[in-house]
Amino acid sequence: MKKPVIWITGASSGIGAATAKKFSKEGYAIVLSSRKEKELEKVKSECQYPEDCAILPLDLAEADSLPSKTEQAIQFFGHIDVMFHNGGISQRSLAMETEIEVDRKIMEVNYFGTIILTKALLSHFKERKSGHFAVTSSLVGIIGSPYRSSYAASKHALHGYFDSVRAEHFADNVAVTMICPGFIKTNVSVNAVTGDGKPLNQMDDAQANGMSAEKCAEKIFKGIKGRKEEIYIGGKEVMAIYLKRFVPGIFSKILQKAKVR
């Protein structure tokens, strides 16, 4: 019996690496992708069944290479069951201090790179009458917050795009799960770009005190297996979604006073 297959971008560290290990433990074959091949090798070695893990380096900013990368991903195990779009970059800079080239880079990686892979994989899912897109968004994919203007915009865009994909391909048995983490203890803030495109190189306090990537991966696995449309992961920061939804005026006042960085 063939193992189900999940392809994970951003698999070299953090949420991606933890999720790869969780799915391997649960009997999935894994295609591991990111820019960092050496780190992918390490993640593969730490999976429960490394013999069922394939490594496919890619850069989401290199749009022209992504359709052929999709073909390679399918060839490893003959099919893909779940595409976990987890690769991306974050931001820590005020909107007025962010160079437009940085805004464009964030959109190119987080949005365009993701949807190019999606377009390349949709025919495979449609032909098989089965498939699942899981997409790492963020709480700021639903709410905006200071220092994350273009990051929030890229994640908001993913929600609009994948809500449409879900509706368009319901009859093809293609599912979409939007994953909205809050503060997870990873290097996402360390690697976040600043206004001039340089990395922040420091850990946010909220990130440092956040949920472990392993616990986050457990929730992601459960959400994907349950074919949930949207899942919120984190601590008390998740309440921000409900405040925004039900009392937006009060939420705006809280956000204006908050020291969010």
Give the active site residue among 28, 111, 147, 151. Answer: 151
Do 149 and 192 form a contact (C-beta atoms < 8 A)? no
User: Is 151 among the catalytic positions?
Assistant: yes
89 phi and psi angles, rounded to 5 deg:
-130, 150
DSSP three-state, residue 105: helix
Tokens of 146: 């200071």
Residue 233 CA neighbour count, 13 Å, CB half:
29
User: Crossing angle for the helix pair 14-25 and 37-46, nearest 10 degrees?
Assistant: 30
Token digits of residue 24 = 């391997």
Which one-letter DSSP state was computed for residue 58? -
Phi, psi dihedral angles at 73 (to 5 degrees): -60, -40
Edge-to-edge order in the sheet of strand 5-9: 53-55, 29-33, 5-9, 82-85, 131-136, 174-181, 230-233
Separation CA 133–CA 85 (nearest Å): 7
| Residues catalogued as catalytic | 151
